[in-house]
Chain A
Amino acid sequence: MLDFPLWKRLSLWAITLAASLLALPSLFNVAGLDWPSALPDPQVNLGLDLAGGSHLLLEAKAGDVRAQRLEAMEENVRQLMRNANPRIRIGDVSTAGGELSFILENAADIDRARGLIEPAMQGSTTVREWELKVVDGQRIVLTQTEAGINQAIDESMNGAIDVVRRRIDELGTREPTIIRQGSTRIVVQVPGLQDPAGLKKLLGQTAQLEFKLVDLDALPSDVQAGVARAGSQIFPYADGQSGAIAVKRLGGIRGDNLTGAQAGRDPQNNQSVVTITFDAQGGAKFAKLTTENVGKPFAIILDKQVLSAPNINEPIIGGRAQISGNFTPESANNLAIALKSGALPVPLTVVEERTVGPDLGADSIRKGLLAMGIGSLAVIALMVASYGRFGVYATVALVFNVLMLLGLMALGGFTLSLPGIAGFVITIGAAVDANVLINERIREERKRGRRVIAAVETGYTEASRAIWDANITNVISGVALFAFGSGPVKGFAVVLVIGIITSVFTGVTLTRMFVAGWLRKARPNDINI
C-alpha cells in the first residue's frame, strides 16, 4: 500500500503537473496577464452568465412541417395526374385531418395513378415517408408516416441551423454557438451581444417569399369575411391597414432560388425597396409565370402577409425583380439579409431568452474568486490545525486539485458558469473529506496501539471503502444534474463531477505518495495526528 517505486512516483507527478499546467493559460487570463502566444493555449470558456451575452432558445412547430409537406404533396399529385397520358381526372381533393385524399373520376385509372404516385412517396433516403390507401376502389388517401415526418423535421431543422448561422454571420457578431437541442429546438448563444432585439427580429423572420396570382373572381365580401373559395387562399396585407386579398392557392412560385438580395431605393418615388436576383432555375420559373399572366396582378407574399400586389405589365425575364411594400430603410435591409441567407425551412419562435450584461459577469467572477480564496484559507487552516503534517499534505493535494480541475476543464473545452463557481467552492470543501476520513482513521488506529506504518496503511485501506461509496453517490447526483440542467446548471455538474475525480486522485493517491515518502525517509516512531 505504501510502496511507491520510482516509475510510479514519476508517472503520478507527470499526470499531476501536466494537468495543473493546463490551468495556467486560464489563470493568466483571469489575472489579466498575456499568455505567450507561442505556447498552446487551452482556455476555460466562460459561460454567458459570466462573460455576458445573449442566449436564445428557438422552437419550430412540428405541425408547420407537416402542413408544408402535405401542401407540397398535393401540388405534386395534381401535377402528376394532369401530366399523365391520358390525363387522370381527379376530384374532391381534401387535406383535412393531415392526410391528402381525392377521388378518381374513373375508377379504372386506379393502377395507373398508383404507379405514378408511388415513386413520389419515396424521399431521398430509404425511409418510407408516405402511406397510400385505396378506399372503395376509387378514392386514394395519402398519409404521412411518423418516420417520414421525423425525417422531414430533421431536414428542416438542419436547414434552419444553416440559415440561422448565415443570418447571424451577416450581423457580424463574434463566435456564436448554434446547436440543435432535442428534435425541434435550436440554441443560439452570442457572447457579448447585449441587445438581442435585432437578432430576434432577424431570426423571427421566416423570409418565405412567394409570388401568387391574385384570384380576381373572389367576391370582395367573402375576402372581407375571410372566406376563401375552393382553390384560393386569403392573406392579410403586411401593413395591417389595407385589409386582405385572395390569391390562387396553387400555381405560384416560391422565392427560394435567389442568388442575391439588395436593399435600395426606387428612383421613381424614393421608397425603400428590395431587389432580388433569381438563379437560373428560379429566373426561368419567374419568367414563365410573368409571361403567361401579363396584365394580371400577382401578390408578393412574405411569411403569409402580402407586401404588395402589382400588375404584371410585361414579362420579367431578366431574373431580377423589385419588391416594394412600405419598407423603412431598416426593414428593407433586414429583409435583404434574411432573403440572402435563405428562407427558414420552418418558422422559429423564441421560447427562452437570457441576456447578461458584462459588468454583472465580471462582478460575479471577482466576488466568486474572493469567496473562494477566503474559503480555501479557512479550510487549509482547519486541516493544518487538526492534522499537522498530514494537514499540510492535504493542503498541497488541495492546491493541485484546484489546478487539475481547472486544467482538465480547459483541456475538455468545458464552460465555467456562475453556478460552476459554487461547484469549485464545494469541491474545495469536499475534496479534503477524503483526507479527514483517512487521517481520523489513522488517529484511531494509533490509539488502538498499532505501529505507525501499520496505522497509516490501515487508515488508507479502511477509509478507501467509505470514500469510494461516498464519491459514487456524488457522481450519481452529478450525472442527474448534468442530464437535468440547461447551460449554467450543466456547468455546475461538470465542475462537480471532474472535481470528484481529481479530488479522489489528489486526496487519496497523491497524499499517500507524500506520506509514504516521508515515512520511508524519516522512519518516525510516533506521529502527531
Chain B
Amino acid sequence: MKLLKLVPDDTNIKFLKLRVPFFVLSLVLIVGSWTAVAINGLNFGVDFAGGQEVRMTFTKQAEAPIPSLRELVGGLGYGEPVVQEFGAKNQVSIRVALPEGAEDTPGAATAIGDKVIATITKSYPDARKDGNDTVSGKVAGEFRDQAILALLAAMAAVAAYIWVRFEWQFGAGAMFALVHDVSVTIGLFAVTQMEFSLQIVAAILAIIGYSLNDTIVVYDRIRENMKKYRKMEMFDLLDLSVNETLSRTVMTSLTLFIALIPLLFFGPESLFGMVAAITVGLFIGTYSSIYMAGALLIWMGVTTNSFVPTETAVDRQEKLARGEG
C-alpha cells in the first residue's frame, strides 16, 4: 500500500530567505490587530460588558419577529438592544446593555433581565426561553481583570518553561510567537465584530498551549542539529531544521484542523466563536512556528556555537591525557 505523503521527502525550502518580508508582515499584523481593537473595539458579550442576554425560540413562527422585538425591548428604556438571529431563523438572541452607573447596584442587571423576558412573553406567548445570561457590572469587571491576568500569566509561564528547557533566546522567540498569535486572534474579533465572551478567552488560552506545539518541535530539532552540525552556517541549520520537521508540523496542525472543522460547521451554534478562534489561532500558530521561530533566533544572535559548553579545566586535562592537546 502506498502511503499518503502530504509533504514530499527532503524538501529544501529556503524559509529564512523570506524572513524580513514575513517578519514585517507579522509586525503589520500585530500592529493592525491592535489598531482594529482601538478603532472598532471588541464586541463584548454580557460576560465582559455586563447586562443581559436572552435567547428565545419562537415555536409557532417560521421567522423570529426581529424588528418588532427591537421595538418592544427598545421601548423599555434600557437603550438600543442588539437583536440577532441565533442558529435557526426562528431563534434570536437579544442583548441589552447595563444602564449607566449600574456597576454599583448589583441587583440591577437581573431586574432588567426579568423585565425583558416578561415583556416579550407577554406579546409573544409562543416565545420559548432557551437561555438567559445576566451579569452585573461588578462581576463583568472582575471577568475582564481575570481574563487579562490569565492571558498574561499563561504566556509568561509558557515562555518561562521554554526558557528553562532551552535557552533564553528560545523563550523570547516563543514569547514573540505567542504575542503574535494572541494579537492576531484578538484582532480577528475586532475586525469581524464577533461577540467576545469568556469562551473566546478560553479559546485563546488553549491557543497559548497548542500554537507552541509546532514551535517546540522546530526548536527541539534546532537544538539537536546544533549539536550535530557544529560547522554549519546558522542560516542553513535553521532552514534544515524547519525542513526536516516540516512534514510533522503540517501533519500535527492538519489533524487538529480536520477535527475542528466539523465542529465549526455542524457543532452547536453557541460554540462557533470559540471554535473559530481556536482554528484561526492554530493556523497563525503554525505560520509563526515555521517563519518566526527560527528567524528570531538569528536576530537574537544565536550562532551554531552559542550553546556549546565552554571547555573546563577537567575537559582540558582529559584532552591532554588522550594526547589531543
Question: What residues of chain A have their CB less than 8 Å away from a CB belonging to chain B?
Answer: 49, 57, 59, 194-195, 197, 200, 204, 349-357, 359-360, 363-364, 367-368, 370-372, 374-376, 378-379, 382-383, 385-388, 418-419, 421-422, 425-426, 428-430, 432-433, 436-437, 440-441, 443-444, 447, 462, 465-466, 469-470, 472-478, 480-481, 483-486, 488-489, 492-493, 496, 528-529
Whether A481 lies near B251 (C-beta < 8 A) is no
A429 with B256: in contact, given A367-B267, A437-B217, A447-B9 (CB under 8 Å)?
yes
A388 vs chain B, min Cβ distance (A): 5
State whether the Cβ of B24 lies closer than 8 Å to any Cβ in chain A: no
Residues of B within 8 A of A356 (CB): 130-131
Complex Cα distance, B224 from A375, in Å, reads: 34
- Report yes or no: B162 in contact with A197, Cβ–Cβ below 8 A: no
Partner of A352, one of B130, B134, B146: B134
Main secondary structure of the interface of A (DSSP, over half): helix
Q: Do the beta carbons of B252 and A351 come within 8 Å of each other?
A: no
- Find out whether the CB atom of A353 lies under 8 angstroms from the CB atom of B132: yes
Q: Which residue of A lies closest to B5 (CB)?
A: A386
Query: Is A354 a contact of B134 with CB atoms below 8 Å?
Result: yes
A375-B259, A426-B260 given; 6 more Cβ-contact pairs under 8 Å: A353-B133, A386-B251, A422-B267, A430-B255, A436-B248, A481-B202
Residue of A nearest to B128 (CB): A357
B254 within 8 A of A: yes
0/1 per residue, B171-184, Cβ < 8 Å to A?
00000000000000
Q: Are B205 and A350 in contact (CB under 8 A)?
A: no
Candidates A352, A368, A425, A477; contact of B259 at CB < 8 Å = A425
Q: Does B6 have its Cβ within 8 Å of any Cβ on chain A?
A: yes
4 closest pairs, A vs B, by CB? A477-B209, A429-B259, A429-B256, A484-B150
CB atoms of A387 and B3 under 8 A apart = yes
- B318 an interface residue at 8 Å Cβ cutoff? no
- Closest residue on chain B to residue A387 by CB atoms: B3
Interface centre among A375, A444, A465 (most CB of B within 10 A): A375
How many whole Å from B196's CB to the nearest CB in chain A? 14
Residues of B152-184 at the interface with A, using a CB-CB cut-off of 8 Å, are 153-154, 157-158, 161-162, 165
**What distance in Å separates the Cβ of A433 from its nearest Cβ neighbour in chain B?**
4
Contact A367 B268 (CB under 8 A): yes
Q: Roughly how many angstroms separate A470 CA and B136 CA in the complex, as a whole number? A: 38
A386-B6, A429-B260 known; A469+B220 contact, CB < 8 A: yes
**B9 contacts across to A, CB distance below 8 A:** 447
The residue from A194, A195, A428, A480 contacting B150, defined by CB atoms under 8 A apart: A480
* Complex: A447 Cα to B5 Cα, angstroms: 14
Question: How far in angstroms is the closest Cβ of chain B from A500?
Answer: 9
Pick from A351, A360, A437, A477: contact of B248, CB under 8 Å: A437
Q: Report whether B216 and A367 are in contact in the complex, using a CB–CB cutoff of 8 Å.
A: no
Interface string of B134-148 (1 = CB under 8 A from A): 111011000100110
Query: What is the bound-complex CA distance between A443 and B244, given in angstroms?
Result: 11
The answer, among B5, B135, B216, for a CB contact under 8 Å with A473, is B216
**A476 B257 Cβ-Cβ under 8 A:** no
Residue of B nearest to A438 (CB): B248
The CA of A378 and the CA of B205, in the complex, are separated in Å by 25
Distance A433 CA – B257 CA, assembled complex (angstroms)? 12
- Of residues 236 through 268 on chain B, the ones whose CB sits less than 8 Å from some CB of chain A are 244-245, 247-248, 251-252, 254-263, 265-268
Is A480's CB under 8 angstroms from B129's CB?
no
B213 near A382 with CB under 8 A, answer: no
* Chain B 206-223 interface mask (CB, 8 Å, partner A; 1/0): 111110110011001100
B201 at the interface (CB under 8 A from A): yes
CB of B278 within 8 A of chain A?
yes
**Chain A positions within 8 Å of B247 at CB level:** 440, 443
Interface size range on B against A: 35 or more
**Is B254 in contact with A351, judged by CB distance below 8 angstroms?**
no
Tell me whether A363 and B146 are in contact (CB under 8 A): no
- Chain A residues closer than 8 Å to B161, beta-carbon distance: 469, 472-473, 476
Question: A81 CB to closest chain B CB, in angstroms?
Answer: 38
Return chain A residues, CB-CB under 8 Å to B266. Answer: 367, 370-371, 374
Complex Cα spacing A454 to B28, Å: 47
Kindly identify which residue among A364, A437, A485, A528 contacts B252, using a CB–CB cutoff of 8 Å: A437
Known: A375-B261, A418-B270. A382 touches B255 (CB 8 A): yes
Q: Is B274 an interface residue (CB 8 A)?
A: yes
In the complex, 22 of the A-B residue pairs with CB atoms within 8 angstroms, ordered by the A residue number, are A195-B129, A204-B107, A349-B106, A351-B138, A353-B134, A355-B132, A359-B130, A371-B266, A429-B255, A429-B259, A430-B252, A437-B217, A440-B251, A469-B165, A474-B213, A476-B161, A480-B151, A481-B154, A484-B150, A486-B198, A496-B206, A528-B3
Cα-based distance from A477 to B174 in the complex (angstroms) = 14
- Please measure, in the bound complex, the distance between the C-alpha atom of A367 and the C-alpha atom of B245, giving whole angstroms: 36
Known: A350-B106, A432-B255, A470-B212. Contact between A485 and B4, CB under 8 A? no
Query: Which B residues lie within 8 Å of A197 (CB)?
Result: 114
Alpha-carbon distance A476/B157, docked complex (angstroms): 7
- Contact yes or no, B154 A480, CB < 8 A: yes
Closest to A486 in B: B198
B contact residues around A447 at 8 Å (CB): 9
Whether A430 pairs with B210 at a CB distance below 8 angstroms is: yes
For A59, A197, A470, which residue has the most chain B Cβ atoms within 10 angstroms?
Answer: A470
- Note all chain A residues with C-beta closer than 8 A to B212: 470, 473
Partner pick for A350 among B110, B162, B208, B270, CB 8 A cutoff: B110
**Whole-angstrom CA separation of A376 from B221 in the bound complex:** 29
Question: Would you call A354 and B158 a contact (CB within 8 A)?
Answer: no
Q: Does B95 sit within 8 A of A, measured CB to CB?
A: no
